[in-house]
């Protein structure tokens, strides 16, 4: 353990009181400055068993203004956590801009517990460390402050504390185990702490043997980090390294499809029916196996996303799927990391969620319209790949459609909409504005596919000017992907 974990000389009660008095005044004032900063603060209090984490959190929460502070503690993992990707619950409880959240039993310590209990292999733990670095970077790149404290206690002190409670109801059989495995656990902890201490997000290791010293040190670290963060402007995220992209670049601009390609309506209907029957059978199996399914629909205005979605769900039981239309974020959503609202909607095991537009808005409309800064949308490619990887390692099927039509066909459909009473509402000035930026969108779409079409979460581009054909192609793609999953 780093030198910080060495015990400090004990503090007298009076000195402690005096320093706490100063500290809490400062903390409360800092909290009010955080409110104005419009970015969240994420504090992690992790540590060894019996290291006094809980007492320290109680102290912090008595020193700070509870209106702008939330404590996210996680008990034994809940069924609703287990049926979703590992990071889901931490995302769900993310503080809003101007808020401070303290996490107890955070992503790092939970991973270590899983490893020490034999629930995940060492290889998985190493992989998890990478995900942790990505997770934390995502938030700090976005302007959040992250402060991570690891409370350590010496073997001697642990022995002492366990002895103190050994005949009381507060004794836990985990205590005996912690004592027995102390050397082994410390080795694992040290390794994970090293692996998750990055330039931007490093761990403070604090000796937890003495209560007063521990509480004060944690409080003072938080104060110092808040002061530093508040006095600096937004941190410059580390520059992106030149990257190789997961996919080839494809040309998205398609020529109008010749009339002779028009499919036979009856033939299409027959195919569709057959595919829907297969789909329904597959879905029973997928549900039984508890496989989560995530399907994304992106595409040009009037490309026929809605119609394709309806043909897809027509054979399915409505209790199995949810359709999530994505529009501009609400106030609560806007106050948090861009990915927050999508994390909240990820499918449970055995559930299918269809996103009608999605997180790709960041690199499409937000990029083209300038709602996201260049840095933000550039960063988004990697963040999105990471998000989708969290889904696929949780055994999800991820299918992403770009519904493509030619520019000429789009105009034809716009005009058709304008001339059909019940379709008029679908066409607004915005559609024409978007159409005027066709070439900007082409660039954005081509970048998007090149950079986010991964092996486990590939893009499927549906290239046709004929709706009936598009719907069949969508069904074929889904059936194919489900077959691949079920054959595994």
Residues in contact with its own copies, shown as a per-residue x/- string from 194 to 233 under the rule CB under 8 A: ----------------------------------------
Polymer length of the chain: 488
Give the count of beta carbons closer than 10 Å to the beta carbon of residue 227. Answer: 13
- State in angstroms the smallest separation of the CB of 87 from its own copies: 18
Q: Which is nearer to its own copies, 53 or 157 (CB)?
A: 53
Q: How far apart are CA 294 and CA 311, in angstroms?
A: 16
**Which two three-digit tokens encode residue 103?**
């996490």
Residue 235 binds its own copies (CB under 8 A): no
Residue 182 binds its own copies (CB under 8 A): no
How many chain residues are in contact with its own copies, going by CB under 8 A? 58
Looking at 70-78, 155-163, 227-235, 465-473, which segment touches its own copies (CB under 8 A)? 70-78
Residue 97 binds its own copies (CB under 8 A): no
- State in angstroms the smallest separation of the CB of 261 from its own copies: 26
Residue 280 binds its own copies (CB under 8 A): yes
Q: How far apart are CA 99 and CA 103, in angstroms?
A: 13
Contact positions with its own copies (CB under 8 A) in 12-51: 21, 24-25, 28-29, 32
- State in angstroms the smallest separation of the CB of 71 from its own copies: 7
Contact positions with its own copies (CB under 8 A) in 300-329: 306, 310, 313-314, 317-323, 325, 327
Which stretches of the chain bind its own copies, using CB under 8 A? 21, 24-25, 28-29, 32, 53-54, 57-58, 61-63, 65-67, 71, 73-76, 78-80, 83, 104-105, 168-170, 277, 280-281, 284, 306, 310, 313-314, 317-323, 325, 327, 330-332, 348, 351, 356, 421-422, 424-426
């Amino acid at each position: 353990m780093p030198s910080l974990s060495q015990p400090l000389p004990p503090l007298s009660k009076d000195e402690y009181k005096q320093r706490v008095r100063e500290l809490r005044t400062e903390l409360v004032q800092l909290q009010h400055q955080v409110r104005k900063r419009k970015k969240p603060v994420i504090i992690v209090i992790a540590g060894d068993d019996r290291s006094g984490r809980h007492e320290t959190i109680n102290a912090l929460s008595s020193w700070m203004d509870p209106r702008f502070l939330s404590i996210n503690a996680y008990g034994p993992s809940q069924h609703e956590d287990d049926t979703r990707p590992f990071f889901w619950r931490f995302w769900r409880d993310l503080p809003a801009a101007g808020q401070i959240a303290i996490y107890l039993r955070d992503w790092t310590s939970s991973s270590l517990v899983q490893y020490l209990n034999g629930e995940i292999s060492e290889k998985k733990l190493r992989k998890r460390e990478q995900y942790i670095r990505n997770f934390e970077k995502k938030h700090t790149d976005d302007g959040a402050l992250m402060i991570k404290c690891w409370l350590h206690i010496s073997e001697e002190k642990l022995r002492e504390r366990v002895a103190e409670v050994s005949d009381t109801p507060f004794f836990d059989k985990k205590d005996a185990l912690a004592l027995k495995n102390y050397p082994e656990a410390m080795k694992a902890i040290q390794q994970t702490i090293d692996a998750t201490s990055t330039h931007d997000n490093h761990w403070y290791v604090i000796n937890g043997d003495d209560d007063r010293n521990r509480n004060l040190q944690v409080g003072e670290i938080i104060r110092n980090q808040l002061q530093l963060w508040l006095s600096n402007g937004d941190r410059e995220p580390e520059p992106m390294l030149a990257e190789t992209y997961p996919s080839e670049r494809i040309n998205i601009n398609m020529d109008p499809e010749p009339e002779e390609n028009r499919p036979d309506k009856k033939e299409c209907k027959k195919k569709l029916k057959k595919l829907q029957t297969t789909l329904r059978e597959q879905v029973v199996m997928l549900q039984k196996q508890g496989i989560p399914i995530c399907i994304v629909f992106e595409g040009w205005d009037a490309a026929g996303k809605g119609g394709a979605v309806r043909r897809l769900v027509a054979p399915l039981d409505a209790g199995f799927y949810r359709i999530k239309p994505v529009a501009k974020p609400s106030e609560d959503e806007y106050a948090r990391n861009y990915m927050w609202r999508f994390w909240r909607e990820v499918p449970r095991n055995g559930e299918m969620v269809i996103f009608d537009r999605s997180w790709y808005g960041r690199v499409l409309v937000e990029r083209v319209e300038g709602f996201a800064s260049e840095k933000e949308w550039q960063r988004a490619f990697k963040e999105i790949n990471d998000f989708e990887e969290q889904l696929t390692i949780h055994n999800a099927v991820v299918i992403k459609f770009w519904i493509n039509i030619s520019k000429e066909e789009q105009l034809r459909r716009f005009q058709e909409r304008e001339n059909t009473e019940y379709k008029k509402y679908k066409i607004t000035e915005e559609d024409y504005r978007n159409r005027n930026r066709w070439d900007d969108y082409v660039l954005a779409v081509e970048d998007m596919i090149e950079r986010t079409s991964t092996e486990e979460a590939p893009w499927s581009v549906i290239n046709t000017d004929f709706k009936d054909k598009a719907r069949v192609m969508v069904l074929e793609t889904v059936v194919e992907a489900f077959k691949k999953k079920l054959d595994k």
